[in-house]
A and B are shown apart, each in its own frame.
Chain A
Amino acid sequence: MRMLKIEHLTKKYGDKTAVDNLSLHIKKGMIYGFIGHNGAGKTTTIKSCCGILKFDNGEIYIDGVSIKEDPLGCKRKLAYIPDNPYLYEFLSGIKYLNFVADIFDVPKTEREERIKKYADLFELTDDLAQPISSYSRGMKQKLAIISALIHDPKLVIMDEPFVGLDPKATHYLKNIMRKICDNGGAIFFSTHVLEVAEKLCDEVAIIRKGKLVISGTMEEVKGNDSLEDVFLELEGE
């Protein structure tokens, strides 16, 4: 069963085609890496999957449900972490997390437990009373991650999730990603850190100028080479 199905996705900005007839299938239990150079169309694809960007052609299904037909139903199942976590600077960390929990209708006990669990893990508990405006880039990223996990999503879509995180937090995030997949969920994330993708991902797709260059399991894509070699070779074509 596929958790995320992208079928012939096309998105244009004026005359420029940002994503061109892209199709990807992300199965349950899978960490799927999405790789490409800057401006390749990764963020456009990700935003389209999250229902915050209108696309011109194609279809996107979240757990079998079309994002076009039931955007709210799809959004209930997923969590999105953008590349630059612009959060509500006027709220404190805890108020923001409680706000997100209210939106996703997370029961009181569960939200308290999850906030404690993840805030402790990312060493953010002591700072939750502080306004977000006083947070560093890394702290904001951690808060965005915690808020994404608060409703126990089935699909987590992340755009460059490791940027700004310290090594410890990066390690914990990788563990969390694996755990979500072990519990039947799926992860779809973009990254430029090819070593991380190589070690972490079950499947990977490389996109270039909006078009899919290659996709498949890590072994299928890289064979005996490193992912970096394959990527550079494909980029050079």
Chain B
Amino acid sequence: MLKALIITRLKALYGSFFHSSRFKKKRRGSFKILVAIFALYIIATFFFMFFGFFHAICQPMVSSGFAWLYFSIASLTAIVLCFIGSVFLTKAQLFDAQDNELLMSMPIPPGYILLSRIAMLLVLNYIFQLFILVPAGIVYYMNYTVTAVGIVFFIIEFLFLPLIPLTLSCIFGWLLAVISERVRNKSLITTVMSLFFLAFYFYFIFQTNRYLQVLIENIHLIGSKIGSFVFPVYHFGLSIAEENISSLVLFLLSAIVPFAIVYAVLAHNFIKITTTKKGLTRIKYKEQPLKVGSAKSALLKKELNRFYTSPMYILNASLGVVFTLAFAVALIIYRDLPNLIIKDYPQLSTYINPLLITMICLLSSSNIISAPSISLEGKSIWIVQSFPVDGSDVLLAKAKMHMVICLPPVFLASLACIFTMKFSLVQIFLTLLLPALVTVFCALFGVVINLHFPKFDWLNETVAVKQSMSTGIAMFASMAVILLPAILYGLLFMQAMSVELFMFIFAIILSAVCLWMYRYLKTKGSAIFAYLG
């Protein structure tokens, strides 16, 4: 029974990436190639990032006699990133899954349901952990002698380390579920809490170099603090570096025992946690005049309502909005920064303004709001399909939602550039045009791609937003649309034409592509949507 449940979960995880009902037969091969390319891209990016990090700290630490601290830092990094990366997914998977009630009505022990979901999260944590511990291990292997015992210890600890972030994310996921059940503005509270986590995450990432420096300068102090206060991490490092078996046992106990306790508590209370509705005070409807609008504006409002009531959607699909705003504010506060860069790199003086424009384009392209918008219709897709509205109006409403949310910050960032930097008239024109055009492109592209890779069989909308082919393609393809021309210009066209002329030509091509996608949605897209699902 447990095996069947776990296999179902893992199949769901696999299916969320590979399965597409529309092109199940036709595109199976191309699907996998595409996924493999994206997977390689992600793996390479993270691998080299952490490789660089561990390469910088390995030698100073080991040569100071703190080889254990090196592995402790690696495990701590893995725990922090696994926890941040999985805490909201844990909440969604354990406590908000739509099939919880169905499964609990069957003769399945609640502990099995919980364990099957935890097994899926464990697999995800292993994947996260691969990006951190494997580069750490390789760096160490490249510089120092490694014994067979050391490798065995490393593998054992690799297998059990994810239990620590999993224990933490189970506790926090539970707390989040309890809080969001009791408060009225739960989307606002969840969004704020999630942004807090993300701010912490990015602060951690951006401060990496400073931490490295502090770490290397204060190895002794940090080593003693970790040894005293972060018990599991300390023994993780000690057991590998010194092949200390008692440390291995202590680490395993510190990973397994808290996890077992949390699992036992959650399994015991699983039914209560997932079925208890604390119930908010019922708001009694008071009759009031209704606002009348057109069908198109109603569709747009519906899309915006869906977006603003889902913290998960906001956080996973529109982080670019936050970053674009942060970029605009940073440009206003640190208005001398571009000049300082030019001072250090005078050869960049011609390109600093186009680079700023490219930066806004890149930030805007990281928004994938429209990419899961068709999938999010889920089982309620019959509503718009049975309405007397053209499919293209429904699809364009989704693209418009993307634009309505993303264009204001993009214009704000463009204006910040114009007012803080010395832009020529052509550059002002390009600053106002190109990022806006990229936003329109991303909006339309997201809908087109989701039309071809829809996913309606989700049990939790997180799957549609975070684990679908459509959002994966949209995210990387949109960024590639900015980065590839930039690379192309640097490699081939730098001598042949000015950057402004190149950007102008790029804007014309992008406009043509946007026009084509618009026409596609109006014609073929509309026909596809009519019978989707």
Residues of A within 8 A of B (CB): 47, 50-54, 71-73, 75-76, 80, 82, 84, 86-91, 93-95, 98-105, 107-108, 111-112, 115-116, 125-130
Contacts and interface: CB of A to CB of B under 8 A. Distances in A.
B422 interface: no
Contact of B298 (A75, A103, A116, A125): A103
A129 B385 CA distance: 25
Q: SS class of chain B's interface: helix, strand, loop or mixed?
A: loop
Among all A-B residue pairs, the 4 with the closest Cβ atoms: A102-B298, A128-B285, A75-B388, A86-B379
Interface stretch (B9-17, B61-69, B303-311): B303-311
B333 interface: no
A171 B383 CA distance: 25
Contacts of B310: 90
Given A86-B380, A112-B290, A50 B386 contact: yes
A50 B384 CA distance: 11
Contact of B285 (A86, A105, A127): A127
A126 B385 CA distance: 29
A52 B531 contact: yes
A72 B389 contact: yes
A128 B286 CA distance: 9
A158 to B, nearest CB: 12
B313 to A, nearest CB: 10
A99 B302 contact: yes
30 contacts: A50-B386, A51-B385, A51-B386, A52-B385, A54-B531, A71-B530, A73-B388, A86-B378, A86-B383, A88-B302, A90-B306, A90-B309, A91-B302, A91-B305, A98-B290, A99-B298, A99-B301, A102-B292, A102-B293, A102-B294, A102-B298, A103-B298, A103-B387, A104-B387, A104-B388, A108-B290, A111-B292, A116-B287, A129-B283, A129-B285
Interface string B366-382: 00000000000011101
B282 interface: yes
B297 interface: yes
Nearest to B286: A129
B295 interface: yes
Interface of B: 282-287, 289-295, 297-299, 301-302, 305-306, 309-310, 378-380, 382-383, 385-390, 530-531, 533
Contacts of B284: 126, 129
Contacts of A101: 290, 292
Nearest to A124: B285
A87 B378 CA distance: 10
B96 to A, nearest CB: 11
Nearest to B292: A108
Contact of A84 (B298, B302, B379, B388): B379
Given A52-B530, A116-B287, A128-B285, A103 B295 contact: yes
B531 A53 contact: yes
A164 to B, nearest CB: 16
B301 A51 contact: no
Given A98-B291, A108-B290, A129-B284, 20 more contacts: A51-B386, A52-B382, A52-B531, A72-B389, A87-B383, A99-B301, A99-B302, A100-B387, A101-B292, A103-B299, A103-B388, A104-B387, A105-B294, A112-B289, A116-B287, A125-B285, A125-B287, A128-B285, A129-B283, A129-B285
Nearest to B288: A94
A103 B389 contact: yes
Contacts of B378: 86
A108 B388 contact: no
A95 B382 contact: no
A80 B385 CA distance: 10
A99 B291 CA distance: 10
A82 B380 CA distance: 10
A73 B387 CA distance: 10
Nearest to B280: A134
Contacts of B298: 98-99, 102-103
Given A72-B388, A75-B386, A99-B301, A108 B294 contact: no
A109 to B, nearest CB: 10
Contacts of A103: 295, 298-299, 387-389
A72 B391 CA distance: 10
Contact of A126 (B285, B295, B382): B285
Contacts of B387: 75, 100, 103-104
Nearest to B298: A102
Contacts of A102: 292-295, 297-298
B204 to A, nearest CB: 32
A76 to B, nearest CB: 4
A76 B295 CA distance: 12
Nearest to B376: A90
Of B285, B286, B390, chain A has the most CB atoms within 10 Å of the CB of B285
A89 B380 CA distance: 9
A88 B530 contact: no
Contacts of B388: 72-73, 75-76, 103-104
